[in-house]
Amino acid sequence: MMAYSEDDIALAAEYALGTLDADERTQVESMISLDKAFAAIVEAWEHKLGILNQMVGSIEPPPELWDKIKTAVGHAEPQAPLLLPDAPPPPPVAAEVVETTAAAADTANVIRLSAQARRWRRVATFTTAIAAALVAMIAVGVYQPDLLPDGIRPKSRVQVVEVKTPAGPAPSAQYVAVLQKEGGSPAFILTVDAATRNFTVRKVDAAAEPGKSFELWLISDKLPRPRSLGVIGGADFTARPVLSSYDTDIVNTATYAVTVEQAGGSPDGNPHSAPVFAGKLIEAVPPR
């Protein structure tokens, strides 16, 4: 196999990252089609960087987009109506058909949302510029049916709530801190929403000893001493709004540290161990 220079590798990486200009992109694309080994390098970068998509929020495209895609891939035949097998195919562009399609799509949305009811909170905070017109449907009542035994699990107790989403605040940045030991693997992942300053701690790989609790601290050179952000619960996730009382500047530049405290947390508001895990925020999903 041919050896690739750092220039080639950086070019492949920048192609995957997307920072090349149009001419350079065309150049890389022709290299990809001519050189399988180079194509593999690009693909590897696309995969490595592409996992960042896990942090991008989903947005529903308009329902009619699917019809265009179907047409474009060449299987756009109108579906035969099941109840009227002998009926002639419906006129392709009749207004009624369009409406029916839209209605069907709405129903599909409801079903989909019911299935993903855990995400209802995300839907609730979904704001758009076409917000005034947008009606979000939220399926409520099936929030955690999985926790119930079959017998008493509510059967599609779906309530459709219409929420006129307000023209919400500008989309905000998400910050993330990976709390880890020096050179160790991440133990906690802290996420902070820049606008609301709500934070979430996800336990990745850490278990407190029996009778002890992990406590999260904010350490800033702008504050005289570490401030407790509370005990990290036993669950996988702990979410709290307490950062809202701090300045953005402090939140963004602070070090976040985890100490081991007596069960229930430090009794006097001071940490009682050296930080076991620590990290600083990096901007993960920048504002637009």
Partner 1 sequence: MLTPAELVWLIAAVAKGDEAAFERLYAATRAKLFGVVLRILRRQDLAEEVIQEAYVKIWNSAGKFNPGLSSPITWMVSIARNRAIDVVRKRTEVSIEEEPAAMEVAADTPDPLARREMTEELKRLLECVGRLEPDRQKLVLLAYYNGWSREQLAAKFETPVNTVKTWLRRSMLDIRECLGL
Residues 81-110 that bind partner 1 (CB under 8 A): none
Among 90, 186, 233, 265, binds partner 1 (CB under 8 A): 186
Chain residues 3-62 in contact with partner 1, contact rule CB under 8 A: 6, 9-10, 13-14, 16-22, 25, 43-62
Chain residues 138-157 in contact with partner 1, contact rule CB under 8 A: none
- The 265-284 site mask, x for binding partner 1 (CB under 8 A), equals --------------x--xxx
| Contact region with partner 1 (CB under 8 A), list: 82-90, 95-103, 170-178, 256-264 | 170-178
Measured distance CA(216)–CA(260) in Å, rounded? 9
Measured distance CA(134)–CA(166) in Å, rounded? 9
Among 30, 33, 37, 68, binds partner 1 (CB under 8 A): 68
Q: Minimum distance between the CB of residue 268 and partner 1, rounded to whole angstroms?
A: 29
| Contact region with partner 1 (CB under 8 A), list: 87-95, 145-153, 184-192, 206-214 | 184-192
Residue closer to partner 1, measured from CB, 229 or 271: 229
Residue closer to partner 1, measured from CB, 114 or 266: 114
Size of the site for partner 1 (CB under 8 A): 74
Is-contact 176 194, C-beta < 8 A?
no
Tokens coding 30: 């022709």
249 binds partner 1 (CB under 8 A): no
Among 84, 95, 129, 135, binds partner 1 (CB under 8 A): 129
Which residues make beta-bridge pairs with 190? 177, 201
Contacts 24+ apart (CB under 8 A), 134-139: 134/164, 134/165, 135/162, 135/163, 135/164, 135/165, 136/162, 136/163, 136/165, 137/106, 137/109, 137/110, 137/113, 137/161, 137/162, 137/163, 138/113, 138/163, 139/110, 139/113, 139/114
Q: Which residue has the tokens 């709405």?
A: 106
